Structure 1
Amino acid sequence: MILAESPRRQRVTKLVNWGHWFALANIIIAIVIASIFVFSSPLPGTGVGTLYLLANWFGHISFMTFFGFVIFILPLCYLVNNPSVIKASASVIAAVGLALLAFDALLFNRTGFHFSFHAADLLRDEAQSQMAIEGWQQWAFLLLLFIVWLGFQLVLANAIWKRVDRFTKHKIGVPVATFFVSCFVTSHAIHVWADAGLYQPIIKQDNMFPLSYPATAKTTMSRYGLLDLAAYEERKQLQFNPDIHSITYPAEPVYCSIETSKNVTVIVQTSSDTSGLMKGALENEALFDKENLNRVGNYYSTASSLRGLMTTTLFGVPEIYEEALVNKRPVMLALPLGSGMPVSIHSEDTLPLAQLSGYQQPLSNNHQGLHIAFLPHNKVNNYLDSALERKHDVIVATGFGEPNGKGALFSTLPLKGNLASSEDLAPTILNALGCTAPSTFYSTGQNLLDPTRPWLVSTSGERIVVFHDNKRTDVLSNGSYEISEIASGKRSKDALNVELLSQAIKHLSRFSKQN
C-alpha cells in the first residue's frame, strides 16, 4: 500500500525548498554587497593572505546570510500555513538585513568602523551633520530607495516560488553547500595558523567583515607544545596596525599665542649627499658664530619616502598617518598663519597633500616669518646663508636617504638633548615661536628646547623604530623585532624592553581611531 504525502507536508516541503533557493539568491546578493568591504581595505599582498581573503569573504558572508535564514525564515515555513505571508515576511527580513549590510559597508568605507555600540558617537555625529546638510527630500529619496529594494525582494520571492519545482530538479544543493562550507572551514583553519604566528597579512583582516570572529587555538596548541604562549603574548603586545583609517588630529584643541615678530627658517635636506654641508655658512664668521652652533648628533630621519619625510616634518607625526591626514592642516602652519605670521613652504617636489599647495612659494620669496624648505644638498648652503643674512633663527635637518636615516640637526636655537627625529621639528619650531601648548596635542615628537623623554619612537614604512639607551629596536607590525647597536649597527644580544616598547607603541598610535 502506497501512502501519499499529506497536503500540509507537501506545502511545507515546497516552502523549505523555496526558502533554500531564496537564501541562495540573497547569499549571492550579500557577497556582491560585501565586496565594498574588500575594496575598501588594502590587498593582503601575499598568496596565503589572498586565499584567506577569498575564503573568508565567501565563507563568512554565506554563513551569516544562511544563519539569518535559519533563524528568521525557516521556522515560518513550519509554523505558518499561508505561503503569501511567509514570502512577504521573508522579503521584509531580507530587505532589512541586506540594507543594514549595505549601510555597514558604506560606513566602513567612509570611516573604517562597523556598525556597533562603540561607533554610536561617530554615527550620531555623522547623522547630525548629514541632517544639517541634507533636506527632507534626501531622506524621502532614501525611503523610496528602500521601498524599491523591498519590491525587488517581493518580486524575487514570487519568481522563485513559481519556479521552485523546476529548480529542485537541478541537484546543485550539495555542491553549493560544499563550496561555502569549505570556504568557511578553510578560512578559520588558515586563521588558526596565522594567529599562532601573528601573520600580519591575515591578522589585519580580522575586522574586515561585520560580526566576524575568526577561530584561534592558542591554548590547545600550547598544551601540546606547538606554541610558546609566553613568546606569543610578548609579540602580540608589540603588535600594531599600520593601516590607519581615521585620525584625530590634533588630539585636543591647540590654543597658544605666537610671537609674530620672530623669524624662523627650517631647512630639511632631501638628498643623501652631505659633502660640504654647512661649510659655507660656518666659514663665514660674519654670518654665523661657530661657538654658538648647537648640534644634535643623534638625529634620525626614518621616513621611507620623500612624501613621508614632508609629512613627518610638517605634521610632527610618523608617516603611517600619511593617508589619514587628507584634509588635515598642520598645526605648525595653521597656528602662525592664524596669528598673522607669513608662512611658506619651499620645495621643488610635489607636496604630500593637496591642501598644502596654498603654502608653497618660490625659494626667492624672502618674507619675514616662518619658512620650511625641502632642498637637495647642493642648494642648502646658499639658502642657509640667505636666511642668516636676514637674521633668521635656523634649523637644518639632515639624514634622509642615509643608512638607517642617521643624520644631524644644526640650529642657532639652544637645542638640548642628544636624541631627536623628524617628528621633533614641529613642536620645537612652535615653541621657538612662543607657543606653550602641550606638544602631545598635535605631535608624537617633543620640544628639543626642553626635552623630557630619553627615548624616541618613529616609523619607517610599516616598521616602528624605537631609539633608547644607544640601542635601536625595529618592530614589525606582527610583533617580531630586531635590536641593534646605534654606533656599530650590529645586532644586539640585550633583552627586549617590553615595557618601553609597549609604551612607545601606545604613544605613537594615540592619534588613531581604533576600529
Structure 2
Amino acid sequence: MVERQKQIGRDRVSRLVSWGHWFAFINGLLAIIVGYRYLENVGLPDSFIGWSYLALSSLGHFTFLAFVVYVVLLFPITLLLPYSKILRGYAAVVATSSLCILLYDTIIYDDYGLHLNPFVFELAWTDLNALLQGTSYIVTPIAILALELTVANFLWKRIEKIRKRNYGNKVVIAVGLCFVASHLIHIWGDATENTAITQFDDAYPLSYPATARSFMENYGIDNNISQKNQPIPSASLKYPLSPMQCSADIKPNILVIAIDSLQAKLVDQTTMPFLAQYASENHSFKQHFSGGNQFSSGMFSLLYGLQGSYINAVDLNYQTPVLTQELSANGYQLGLFTAEDTLAHPQAIFDNFERINAQDRDSDANADLSSIASWVQWTNTSKKPWFTVLNLKSPESYDTPVGFLGIKTVKADTELKPAQKVLFNQYRQSLNFVDQQLSNILNDLPKNTLVVITGVSGKLLTSSPNEARMNWSPDSVQVPLVIHWPEQRAAKQIQYRTTHHAVVPTLMSQALGCTNPATDYSAGNSLMQPSDNSWIYTGDNQVFAIYQANEITTIDRHGKYRIYDNNYKKRLKKKLSAPELIEVMREGRRFYIH
C-alpha cells in the first residue's frame, strides 16, 4: 500500500514535470512574439543567411530563457508542492511576470537603446510616466495572465496524450540544435564581420553569442574581402533626418589638423609656443572636449558629429558622414593624410576621401613628416577647392625623429605616478616636434584657407592601452580647438564648453551655407554659441562618460557607473542625475527609425 502511494506520487510529479517543460516551451514561443519588438529598432535582415540566423537564434535564445525560469522558479515548487491547481496558478503568475518584464525591456530598449540593468532600471523609474502611457500597463498584464491560465489548463488536460506521442525528446533535440547552430553561425559571422548576423548582437536581453574571430582567421578567412561582398542591409538609421539644403557661394579650402593624443593643458609657451601664439590670434575654445578617449570615437565625433553610441550602427558601414557627402557634392576635392595602419570605425568614415598613406611604419614621427610632405604636394597640384584631414600621430607613441633637439625638461606634476613622470617629458618632446611642424604648415598657407586644429583625443600618460581606454579624466578627453577663418575675424578666447560634435554643424553652416537645423544631422550645435545642454557626452557604445557642471559620471554597457568630482579624483557617493542622463539616452536613439 505504501509503495502504491509512493508510485502514485512519483507519477504525479512526473506528470507535473512534463507539463512544466511544455509550459516553458510555449512561453518561449510567446517570448519570441514579444521579442519581435526588438527587431523594430534593429531592423529585419535582407538575406537568407540573416533570416536563418535570426530564426535559429530567436527560437534557441527565448526557449532557453524560458527553461531557465522554469528550472529556477517552477521546478523546485513542483517537488515541494506537487499539486496541479497550485502549480498551474503559480506558473501562470510567474510566466505573466516574466513576459511583462520582457515587454517592459522592449520599451526601455526602444527609448534608451539598452536592456534592463540596475543603472537603466534606476533611470527608467525616474522616467516611468513618459515610458508607460495610457492604461495599457494595467490591461496588458491582465490579458497576459488570462492567456497564461488558459495555456496552463489546456496543457494539463492534454498532457497525457502529448506524453504518449513522445514529442518531448524531438522538441528538445530541435531546440538544442537551434541553440548550438545559432552560436556556430555567429562564430563564423563574427570572424567574417558579416553584418547580416552581427547586427543582432545586442538586440536580445541576456544574449551573449559565441565569438572566435582569431580561430576563424587561422583558417584563412579574409575579413575585409567578406565584408566588401556583403549586401547592404535595410536602413535602421535616418541620417540626416531631412534632406540637406546647402549652397556655398564662397568655397574656402578647409584644412583639419587632427593630432592624436593632444592634451589641452600642454598647449603653452613652453611646450607648444607656436600653437599657443596661433590660438591667441584666432578663435580658441578653452574648454573643448573630444567625443572619445580613443582614435575611433574621437574621429567619429569629429567627422560624423554624432554621439559615439552610433559608432557600431550597421548603416554607417555603408554611409559616409553628411559633412563629406556635402563637400563632395559642392565640388570639393577631399584628401586624408595619415599612417598606413590607421583604422577607424565605422567602415565608411573615410570613403569620400582620397587616402594618401605615409609609408614609414617604424616611426610615427617619420610618418608624420611623410604625411606633411604628401599633403604639401597634393594641395599644390589640386585644381579644385579642397578639404583635407592631416592626421599627426607622434604624441600617441611619445615619438620624435632621430636627432631632434627639442626643449628642456621640466619638473613633472607632483600628482603623477613615478612611471608617468618618466613619460611626461618624452610626451612634451613629441608635442614640441608637432608644434614645429604646425609652424611650417601654417606659415605658408593660401589665404582662402579655413583651418581647424584639434586633438583626436586627449592623453593619459601610460603605456597600457587598457588603462587609457578606461580613463575618462580631463587629460583623456579635453583637447585644444583653434579655428582660423579665411576672412578677417577678431581673435576670441571662448570659455564656454564645446565638443567635437559641434565642429560639423559649424563647418556645414559657415563654409557650406547649409540652412538645416543642426539637429537634422548632428548631436551638436554651432561652436559660435553655447550649447543648451547641461552635459557633454564622450565615449562609444561600450563605455562613456557624462561631464556635468560639478561631476563626471562614467557608465559601461552593463550599467555599472561611477561618479567623480570635476578633477576625476574623488568618487562621490550619490545617485545619478536622472534628467540629464535621460536626455543622453534619447539623443543616442534619435536617428534610429522607429
Structure 1 length normalisation: TM-score? 0.51
1:372 maps to which of 372, 385, 389: 389
Q: 1:363 aligns with which of 375, 378, 400?
A: 375
Could you tell me which amino acid in structure 1 is paired with residue 523 of structure 2? T
Residue 299 of structure 2 is matched in structure 1 by: 310
Aligned equivalent of 2:504, options 415, 426, 445: 426
For residues 91-128 of structure 1, give each alpha carbon's deviation from its aligned partner in whole angstroms, at most 9, with x where no partner exists. xxxxxxxxxxxxxxxxxxxxx9xxxxxxxxxxxxxxxx
2:204 corresponds to which letter in structure 1?
Q
Match of 1:483 among 553, 557, 563: 563
Structure 1 residue 275, shift from structure 2 partner: 10
Cα deviation digits, residues 268-297 of structure 1 (max 9, x gap): 222468897686996459x95563244334
Return the letter of the residue paired with 1:55.
Answer: F
How many Å apart are 1:34 and its aligned residue?
7.2
- Does 2:64 align with 1:55? yes
Give 1:411 deviation, angstroms: 1.0
> Unmatched 5+ residue regions in structure 1?
1-26, 42-49, 61-111, 113-167, 185-200, 209-243
Any conservation in 2 of the 1:58–1:180 contact (CA below 8 Å)? no
Task: Return the alpha-carbon distance in structure 2 between the equivalents of residues 257 and 438 of structure 1.
Answer: 15
Q: Deviations over 1:222-256 (max 9, x none)?
A: xxxxxxxxxxxxxxxxxxxxxx9821111221212
Between the aligned partners of 1:494 and 1:252, the Cα distance in structure 2 is 40
Q: Which residue of 2 aligns with 1:473?
A: 553
Kindly provide the amino acid, as one letter, of the partner of residue 298 in structure 2.
L
CA drift at 1:328: 0.9
Q: C-alpha separation between the residues in 1 aligned to 2:168 and 2:482?
A: 74
User: Which amino acid in the other structure matches residue 36 of structure 1?
Assistant: Y
Question: C-alpha distance in 2, partners of 1:383/1:482?
Answer: 38
How far apart in 2 are the matches of 1:388 and 1:329? 32
- Does residue 444 of structure 1 match 2:434? no
Distance 1:500 1:275, change over 3 A: closer
* Partner Cα separation in structure 1 for residue 203 and residue 266 of structure 2: 46
- Identity, in percent, stands at 18
8 Å contact from structure 2 (residues 253, 450) kept in 1 = yes
Kept after mapping to 1: 8 A contact 2:63/2:175: no
What is residue 254 of structure 1 aligned with on the other side?
A: 244
Larger Rg: 1
Alignment of 1:27-426 (within 5 A): 36-37=53-54, 55-56=64-65, 172-176=166-170, 204-206=203-205, 246-271=236-261, 283=273, 291-303=280-292, 305-324=294-313, 325-348=316-339, 349-350=342-343, 352=345, 353-354=347-348, 356-359=350-353, 360-361=355-356, 362-364=374-376, 365-366=378-379, 367=382, 368-376=385-393, 377=395, 378=430, 380-381=434-435, 382-383=437-438, 385-390=440-445, 391=447, 392-398=449-455, 399-402=457-460, 403-404=471-472, 405-413=476-484, 414=492, 416-426=494-504
Q: CA deviation at 1:456?
A: 2.0
**Paired amino acid for 1:330:** P
Of residues 496, 499, 502, the one that matches 2:576 is 496
User: How far did residue 431 of structure 1 move?
Assistant: 3.0
Looking at structure 2, the residues matched to 284 and 33 of structure 1 have their Cα atoms a distance apart, in angstroms, of 54
Q: Secondary structure at the match of 2:504?
A: helix
Q: Would the alpha carbon gap of residues 40 and 295 (structure 1) be closer, same or farther in structure 2, given more than 3 Å must change?
A: farther
Distance of 2:51 and 2:63 partners within structure 1: 11
The unaligned stretches of length 5 or more in structure 2 are 1-28, 33-48, 70-112, 114-161, 179-199, 208-233, 357-373, 396-429, 461-470, 485-491
- How big is the shift at 1:440? 0.9
Paired residues of 1:256 and 1:435 also in contact (CA < 8 A): yes
CA deviation string 1:143-195 (max 9, x = no partner): xxxxxxxxxxxxxxxxxxxxxxxxx9x985454467789999xxxxxxxxxxx
Instruction: Give the Cα separation in 1 of the matches to 2:499 and 2:581.
Output: 17
State the distance in 2 between where 1:280 and 1:371 align: 29
Helix, strand or coil: the match of 2:480?
A: strand
TM-aligned CA deviation for residue 302 of structure 1? 4.6
The one-letter code sitting in structure 2 at the alignment partner of 1:409 is: P
Residue 470 to residue 440, structure 1, CA distance change in 2 (3 Å)? same
CA deviations 1:282-334 (Å, max 9, x no partner) are 6459x955632443343333536433332222111133323320221211112
CA distance in 2, matches of 1:207, 1:511: 25
Deviation at 1:444, TM superposition (A): 0.8
AA in 2 matched with 1:322: I
Alpha-carbon shift at residue 401 of structure 1 (Å): 4.3
Higher RCO (C-alpha 8 Å, min separation 6): 2
Matches of 1:280 and 1:481, distance apart in 2: 38
Residue 483 of structure 1 deviates from its aligned partner by 1.9
The 1-side partners of 2:499 and 2:591 are apart by 18
What is the alpha-carbon distance in structure 1 between the residues aligned to residue 440 and residue 270 of structure 2? 8
Give, in whole Å, the separation in 1 of the partners of 2:202 and 2:319. 29
In the aligned structure 2, how far is the partner of 1:469 from the partner of 1:388?
38
Between the two proteins, the alignment pairs up a number of residues equal to 321
Distance 1:448 1:384, change over 3 A: farther
Quote the offset at 1:510 in angstroms.
0.4
In 1, Cα distance between equivalents of 2:66 and 2:50: 11
TM-score, scaled to structure 2: 0.45
Aligned partner of residue 328 in structure 1, secondary structure: coil
1:481 Cα deviation (Å)?
2.9
Task: Tell me the C-alpha RMSD between the 2 structures.
Answer: 4.8
Asked if 2 retains the 8 angstrom alpha-carbon contact of 1:34 and 1:57, the reply is no
Structure 1 residues 55 and 245, CA gap change in structure 2 (3 angstroms): farther
Q: Give the Cα separation in 2 of the matches to 1:283 and 1:488.
A: 28
